Amino acid sequence: MINHKETDIAVIGAGAAGLSAGAACASEGVRTLIIDREPLPGGVLLQCIHNGFGLHYFKEELTGPEFAGRMEEKARQAGAEFLMDHTVMEIRNQEDKKELVLYSAEDGVTLVHAKAVIFAAGCRERNRGNLGIPGDRVAGIFTAGLAQRLLNMDGFLPGKKAVIVGSGDIGLIMARRLSWCGIKVETVVEILPHPSGLSRNIAQCLDDFNIPLRLATAVTKIGGSDRVEYVRIAPLVNGEPDLSREETIECDTVLFSVGLIPETELIRNCGVTINPVTNGAVADGNMMTSVPGIFSCGNVLHVHDLVDFVAEESELCAKKAVQYIKGRIKGGSQIPTEAVKNLGYVIPNSALCETTRFYMRPRILCPKAVLTVRNGEEIIYQKNVLHVKPAEMITAELSGEKLQNLPEDAKLSFELEPVEVKS
């Protein structure tokens, strides 16, 4: 037996992005269904028991579960419906709607028909296999997020002595969490010459616990018989490990915190164009993908540094999805955007002639820089940016008035130029 459900907007994912988007859609009076494969809403927030969430969005400091609870309550009060423990296996394009094929252990197959889809499926962690680190296949190797879940939700200690590979925020936070539990963190190893996580996490999670951070250093081998027994590391010289300076660190646990990969397989299979820089969808000024009626937001679109920005972006995406099903979004040309200097990307990938907030990822590390937006040689927008680092996104808001006055063949180029700071 196949079950059937009808809704106006189907939101795939019940993490921060999905809950925020679902709440915003439902508050506009449209039927909203939030779907997730997990039994409870909240996503990865449920295992993030540390504080530091909500400072921008709720104007107070919350833990991950508190932030998730607030967002879930907001969505339910707005009238959103939840369908948990259901996995979306396929999105089918039909003439005037989308058909989602869902599997669940309890209900079997369910077909959901929606006028629009908001894709908010989040990310998965890169692991040892993605990096190709040589050594033995032994127990005791985890992604930082998995170790966090084991410790915070399941109550299991992952080991007694750990090395963390990568200085992403989850890894930094886990360095502190492991230390609180009596697990010795020998070092954090980062292949880049600068940290990958937020400055506050470097200070609060490493410096406060005297945990060394080894920059420009690579893992050359993980060794052991049944379980990890040691890790070998070496400093990088011209991008290659200097094996003459290789050292061995004894440990029984290795955590990988080496970045996130957007979970885009589902929308790839229904024809959505993927941005090779972000690994998320190409999104226009309406936050709509290349397939009409499919929108995307949150970490599955591009990896954010703060969950507050995820919630903010997802609300904007939801408003556009509501406009779409009400017939208020019309086709037509948009202004293309590009990141041309010291920026990895800019989102959205094109802009409407209305006030638009842009998100971008810097590629440089400097105390001060100037962000400039140009159309050809004409400067459209400028602002100073302090404490620039790849770990922290930059945002800019261009007014509708400026965008409306651009010629039809306009193209917005975003560039970041370091500024010398006099001592």
pLDDT tens, position by position, 215-244: 999 999 999 999 999 999 999 999 999 999
The answer to whether residue 174 sits within a structural domain is yes
**pLDDT digits over 158-207, tens only?**
999 999 999 989 999 999 999 999 999 999 999 999 998 888 899 999 99
Backbone angles phi, psi at 59, to 5 degrees: 60, 30
Q: How does residue 5 score in pLDDT terms, banded at 50, 70 and 90?
A: very high
Cα(154)–Cα(342) distance, integer angstroms:
42
54 and 166 in a common domain: no
User: Do the domain assignments include residue 168?
Assistant: yes
CB 68 within 8 A of CB 54: no
**Number of other CB atoms surrounding residue 395 within 10 Å:** 14
Q: Are residues 246 and 131 part of one domain?
A: yes
Using DSSP's 3-state secondary structure scheme, residue 307 falls into: helix
Q: Are residues 132 and 216 in the same domain?
A: yes
Q: Is residue 86 part of a domain?
A: yes
- Structural domain ending residue among the three candidates 258, 292, 309: 258
Segment 70-90 mean pLDDT: 98
Spatial distance between the Cα atoms of 272 and 278, rounded to a whole number of angstroms = 14
Going by pLDDT thresholds of 50, 70 and 90, the confidence category of residue 423 is: low
Predicted TM-score of the model (pTM):
0.94
Name residue 335's beta-bridge partners: 351
Q: Is 273 helix (H, G, I), strand (E, B) or coil?
A: coil
**Distance of alpha carbon 122 from alpha carbon 302, whole angstroms:** 9
Domain end marker among 235, 258, 281: 258
Q: What pLDDT is recorded for position 131?
A: 87
Same domain, 132 and 254: yes
Statement: residue 129 has pLDDT above 90: no
> Structural domain of residue 354, as residue ranges?
337-418
Beta strands in 244-362 (DSSP E): 247-250, 253-256, 260-262, 294-296, 335-341, 343-347, 350-351, 356-362
Residues 364 and 248 in one domain: no
Position 421 pLDDT exceeds 80: no
Burial of 184 (0-12, 13-18, 19+ CB in 10 A): middle
Q: What is the structure's pLDDT at 391?
A: 87
Average model confidence (pLDDT) across the chain? 95
Read off the CATH number of the domain in which 364 is found.
2.60.40.10
When divided into structural domains, the chain yields a total of: 3
Q: Does residue 240 fall inside a structural domain?
A: yes
The DSSP letter of residue 318 is: H
Is the pLDDT score of 354 beyond 70?
yes
The yes-or-no verdict on residue 132 having pLDDT over 90 is: no
Same domain, 376 and 360: yes
In a domain, 276, yes or no: yes
When mean pLDDT is compared across 221-225, 264-268, 332-336, 376-380, the lowest value belongs to 332-336
Domain boundary among the residues 331, 357, 380 is at 331
How would residue 120 be classed by pLDDT, with cut points 50, 70 and 90? very high
What is the C-alpha to C-alpha distance for residues 78 and 174, in angstroms, rounded to an integer? Answer: 35
Statement to judge: residues 314 and 354 lie in one domain: no
Is 71 inside a domain boundary? yes
Residue 423 in any domain: the answer is no
- Residue 281: inside a domain: yes
Confidence at residue 1, expressed as pLDDT on a 0 to 100 scale = 79
Of residues 98 and 130, more confidence is placed in 98
CA distances from 246 to 84, 179, 211, 227 (A): 49, 26, 20, 21
User: In this structure, are 120 and 267 located in the same domain?
Assistant: yes
| Residue from 378, 372, 380 nearest 414 by CA | 372
Do 222 and 135 lie in a common domain? yes
- 166 and 246 fall within a common domain: yes
pLDDT tens-digit readout, 400-412:
999 998 998 999 9
Largest separation between any pair of C-alpha atoms in the chain: 73
Lowest mean pLDDT among 64-68, 129-133, 134-138, 370-374: 129-133
Strand partners, 111: 4, 101
CATH of the domain at 74: 3.50.50.60
Does a cis peptide bond (omega within 30 degrees of 0) precede residue 348?
A: yes
Instruction: For residues 114 and 6, state if they share a domain.
Output: yes
Residues forming beta bridges with residue 165, ordered by sequence position: 189, 256
Which residues, in sequence order, are CB contacts of 26 under 8 Å at separation 6+? 32, 75, 78, 79, 80
My answer on whether 271 and 236 are in the same domain is no
